[in-house]
Structure 1
């Protein structure tokens, strides 16, 4: 739903973290050195292209290599320490190291897939913890050589990653890690409020859905994450906004702005929690609130 943001130097930082990793089974070699010695001929690409290529690059690699049901490759690009057909991984559990990297280098506030739940970083006994899981857009079971790839990992909530995301539906170009991911621009929440006097008193009086303008390329994305059904639970937020909008027409908002010596935008943000001045990924449901705010003539 929301595009993942990266710092300009993140690829170099990430490559150094993984490429310099060592394991006893590498016989003193680094991850990069072991790859060049044993796997480059098999996969045909430089390690940096696999680990740090942008999402479009990953798709081109996928199209050339295809699915790789190779236990040796799975064991080398091991993410979570799981054994592959009784074969021990060559390097044990890189997931904690990668999660720590995301904590330090990627903004994690709400789930990038759904924008419903917080996945933020917090402290426990002076140690940083996080509420996110890292979802593999291109499934590591089918494309194990992407198990550690930076742009194949989406910081997401447990529900999106483990409960609803349908791995049978190909995400491909629709990954929030893709620079061309424009879900927020193309897809909007619509309330289907037909009563322009806002005479709506309960949630059953209206419906909300995600509607794409002029195309339907994101339909499978919405279906895979069950977004329409999940957001139906949050119709109460829309109802609250409708009720407030009845109480605070534009004339009343302007009056409050004059009385408090604030801008009209600040009053709207305080009253309706639109977060006009903040990025959408900072707060849960922010896309819903912003899209419905446009329907209600608030922005």
Structure 2
């Protein structure tokens, strides 16, 4: 729900240099004949090499084109990953598993999230200066914790969601615009390994404007007598954003925050029922609880601002 700004040229350059070097080293060591690999392996390798830069720092539309090329040259791999048997089933294909392992080495996400010297996930997330989850805009991004002695030390890095899950697209595991800082709820509890369709808006896709609206069911008039249980909050994704809202279960999740909306409406009512002196002192930021210009930096900010506009606060 929050449109993210694309990475700066310096960030993209660092990402390409660091991950590109690892890619080149892994590819140089992976030589034909590809014994034990699927028959399409040489074709897949050529696609990955030709699309190297686009895979690592290409925009959203370019990543989708890469996916289509891989499907064209290595269709059985895509089908296998989408229907991959469990490890305990005993029916996994040895050649496919060998290829998946190799792709994991070439696009090594575990190495990227290691907090060592050089460009890594911590520095990438820090470059965005992001406080609120771009998917739901309800929660602050949750920080990982890592025990490093006593007491436990917090490592300040939100979870990075693979918008196109790496379980299906292992070759996009370290792609700059496939890594979305998010909250734990969206990343692990809601989205997981589900594959969003190509039509669903992507936080980094600048070609699709945010188009969400929030409306109230129940009268905001005389709100002092209306409990938050009686106040219904409707979340509507217009056009392709409807698919986004459904995918992340925003309607159900936002209803949980009806008390915060009720609080704002009560502050509005207090202002409306006060004398002109008090009304002149109670600006919009008092009713909202934050500066209207900072709505993207506040949990629930997009929702509260939209409702405040509808109620004549802004």
TM-score, length of structure 2 as denominator length: 0.74
Residue 305 (structure 2) pairs with residue 296 (structure 1)? no
Q: Deviations over 1:21-65 (max 9, x none)?
A: xxxxxxxxx433433664752525332111000011000110111
Residue 299 (structure 2) pairs with residue 287 (structure 1)? no
Counterpart-to-counterpart distance in 2, 1:222 and 1:182: 14
Counterpart-to-counterpart distance in 1, 2:271 and 2:278: 10
Instruction: In structure 2, list runs of 5 or more residues that go unmatched.
Output: 31-43, 72-77, 82-95
Corresponding residue number in structure 1 for 2:160? 134
Corresponding residue number in structure 1 for 2:259? 236
Residue 23 (structure 2) pairs with residue 31 (structure 1)? yes
Corresponding residue number in structure 2 for 1:25? none
SS in 2 for 1:190: strand
Counterpart-to-counterpart distance in 2, 1:145 and 1:6: 21
Contact 2:229 2:258 in 1 (8 A): no
Q: Deviations over 1:118-138 (max 9, x none)?
A: 12779999x883251000111
Tell me the CA shift for residue 256 of structure 1.
4.0
Corresponding residue number in structure 2 for 1:104? 126
Contact 2:295 2:305 in 1 (8 A): no
Taking structure 1 as reference, are residues 42 and 57 closer, same or farther at Cα in structure 2, changes over 3 Å only? closer
Contact 2:236 2:245 in 1 (8 A): no
Corresponding residue number in structure 2 for 1:153? 179
RMSD: 2.9
TM-score, length of structure 1 as denominator length: 0.77
Q: Deviations over 1:155-205 (max 9, x none)?
A: 00111010012644524341112122423xx11111124454546420132
Corresponding residue number in structure 2 for 1:227? 250
Taking structure 1 as reference, are residues 73 and 122 closer, same or farther at Cα in structure 2, changes over 3 Å only? closer
Counterpart-to-counterpart distance in 2, 1:32 and 1:209: 50
Pairs within 5 Å for 1:1-299: 1-9=1-9, 10-20=11-21, 30-35=22-27, 38=30, 40-66=45-71, 67=78, 70-71=99-100, 72-80=102-110, 93-97=111-115, 98-119=120-141, 129-165=155-191, 167-168=193-194, 170-172=196-198, 173-183=200-210, 186-194=211-219, 196=221, 198=223, 200-213=225-238, 215=239, 217-249=240-272, 252=275, 255-256=277-278, 267-280=283-296, 282-299=297-314
Counterpart-to-counterpart distance in 2, 1:278 and 1:76: 40
Tell me the CA shift for residue 248 of structure 1.
0.5
Which segment is superposed worse, 96-105 or 141-150?
96-105
Counterpart-to-counterpart distance in 1, 2:122 and 2:143: 10
Contact 1:198 1:246 in 2 (8 A): yes
Which segment is superposed worse, 149-158 or 58-67?
58-67
Contact 1:188 1:212 in 2 (8 A): yes
Which segment is superposed worse, 230-239 or 171-180?
171-180
- The count of aligned residue pairs is 265
Contact 1:134 1:155 in 2 (8 A): yes
